[in-house]
Amino acid sequence: MNITVPTNLWDEDTDAVITSWLVSDGAQVNEGDLIAEIMVEKIQHEIRSPSTGSIKISQPAEAVVSKGSVIGEIS
Amino acid sequence: MYLMENERKLTIARAMAEATAQEMRLDEKVFVMGEDIGQLGGVYGNTRGLIEEFGEERVRDTPISETAFIGAAVGAAQDGMRPVVELMFVDFYGVCMDAIYNLMAKNIYFSGGNFKVPMVLMSSVGGGYSDGGQHSQCLYGTFAHLPGMKVVCPSNAYDAKGLMTQAIREDNPVVYLYHKGLQGMGWLGTEAGANVHTPEDAYTIPFGQANVVREGTDVTIVGLGMGVHDALKAADKLAEAGTSAEVIDLRTLVPLDRDTVFNSVKKTGRLIVVDEDYQSFGVSGEIITTVVERDHSVLRSTPARVAYPDIPIPFSRPMERFCLPNPDKIVTAFNQMKDN
């Protein structure tokens, strides 16, 4: 299952930056776990795992992302 | 059945907030005060979630009057409370130094031990993101120089949590300094190495225990806070050239773990100190003295330091970059060492 930046975290169509991945590539995660933080104009938002499994990170920390961007995958 | 715990990386910001929340659940005397530490969750994220759980009585946003609220915290601490107070930038110490240094640091002594002052003064340190000379200093050497306060500075989330728990449980005043570039706040620079696995259950890290974060045999690199990450990157570069560097994270300045520093240099024979605080009259000189006054014969080379030059920190990004310690400067310092 893709890990997607939610479209409802912030209002404007501003880009965000992944400030930290809070799990390593390949780590085991549970659905709902906090896995990353992204920042939009100095406000930080949380990204949680959409399912349980092993994580594959496709967008590294400091990457610029937008609403709906795929930043990784849980398999 | 025992299930292996999933990896749980935290930023230092989250680790500090988690430790504070856990102590607040255990002890109703613990409370937090400072500028923007309530609704905003702290400019550096280190009080996020606290006001939602504990309310405005125990998580108190203050006016911009450090003298008043740090002085109030000293009184509260002497009266049995355990305040955790934030000075937003350590650079602002000038306006409240009487509360910090004549009250917080000394009242245990002045009262002949009849009062305890169990408070934590947390403050952000460090630069690297072009915020000028009044928002970018480290100054931990200044606090360590003045007797009466314990002084800590974590380099990663695991240490940040354990040191914060220890700080809140201490009956002495603790100055808890965290580097802005390690908080996981993107606009302040990001050091991914600071985000490490951090257990959820509370634990303490005793003060005065440095951590050997990388073992080596040819040179000892000593640092704290951001300097540890510079040292680790330098150690990688040195390893490519066939040099084995040992890296020590001091974690606490007061008390200082002089034994770990000395024993490492005794093994490697060479010492480089990395310090983002000003070079003269500070931490780097104290670390070198620690070795030299115990037994200078363990040194194969003259010690070196990679520290901030003795000038106010420039706003200009290229000028600030020129002044800051970095891995290349550490490698150069090693290459310029001349063995006896």
| pLDDT > 70? residue B242 | yes
- The model's pLDDT over B144-182, given as tens digits with 9 standing for 90+, comes to 999 999 999 999 999 999 999 999 999 999 999 999 999
- In terms of Cα–Cα distance, which of B257, B254, B227, B209 is closest to B330? B227
In chain B, pLDDT over 90 holds for what percent of residues?
94
Cα B261–chain centre separation: 17
Q: CA B261, CA B215: separation in Å to the nearest integer?
A: 12
Model pLDDT, residue A42: 80
Name the catalytic one among B23, B35, B86, B135: B135
With contacts defined as CB-CB under 8 Å, which chain B residues touch A39?
185-187
* Catalytic residue (choose from B66, B191, B286, B320): B66
Q: What is the pLDDT of residue B4?
A: 58
Per-residue pLDDT tens digits for A9-52: 888 888 999 999 999 999 999 999 999 999 998 888 999 999 99
More reliable by pLDDT, B192 or B291: B291
Q: For every residue of chain B, which 3-state class applies, written as one string?
A: CCCCCCCCEECHHHHHHHHHHHHHHHCCCEEEEECCCCCCCCCCCCCCCHHHHHHHHHEEECCCCHHHHHHHHHHHHHCCCEEEEEEEEHHHHHHHHHHHHHHHCCHHHHCCCCCCCCCEEEEEECCCCCCCCCCCCCCHHHHHHCCCCEEECCCCHHHHHHHHHHHHHCCCCEEEEEEHHHCCCHHHCCCHHHCEECCCCCCCCCCCCCEEEECCCCEEEEECCHHHHHHHHHHHHHHHCCCCEEEEECCEEECCCHHHHHHHHHHHCCEEEEEEEECCCCHHHHHHHHHHHHHHHHCCECCEEEEECCCCCCCCHHHHHHHCCCHHHHHHHHHCCCEC
pLDDT of residue A39: 92
Render pLDDT for B6-22 as a digit per residue (tens, 0 to 9). Answer: 889 999 999 999 999 99
Catalytic site includes residue B66 = yes
Query: Is B135 an annotated catalytic residue?
Result: yes
Chain A nearest C-alpha distance from B53 (Å): 18
Amino acid at B192: A
Q: How much is the pLDDT for A43?
A: 84
- Per-residue pLDDT for B73 more than 90? yes
Across B226-239, average pLDDT: 98
Q: Which residues of B touch A (CB under 8 A)?
A: 6-11, 45, 184-187, 190, 192, 195
Over residues B170-196, the mean pLDDT reads: 91
Task: For residue range B27-59, list pLDDT tens digits in order.
Answer: 999 999 999 999 999 999 999 999 999 999 999
pTM of the model: 0.95
Contact A20 B192 (CB under 8 A): yes
The per-residue pLDDT for A11 is 87
Tell me: pLDDT of B2 over 60.
Answer: no
What pLDDT was estimated at residue B289? 98
pLDDT in tens, B108-158: 999 999 999 999 999 999 999 999 999 999 999 999 999 999 999 999 999
Pick from A8-12, B81-85, B101-105, B286-290: least confident: A8-12
ipTM of the complex: 0.87
A44 to B185: CB separation less than 8 angstroms, yes or no: yes
Look at residue A50 in the predicted model and tell me its pLDDT. 95
pLDDT at B266: 98
What's the confidence (pLDDT) of residue B1? Answer: 41
Residue B246: the pLDDT is: 98
Lowest-pLDDT range, B84-88, B113-117, B190-194? Answer: B190-194
Q: Which residues of A touch B185 (CB under 8 A)?
A: 19, 39, 42, 44
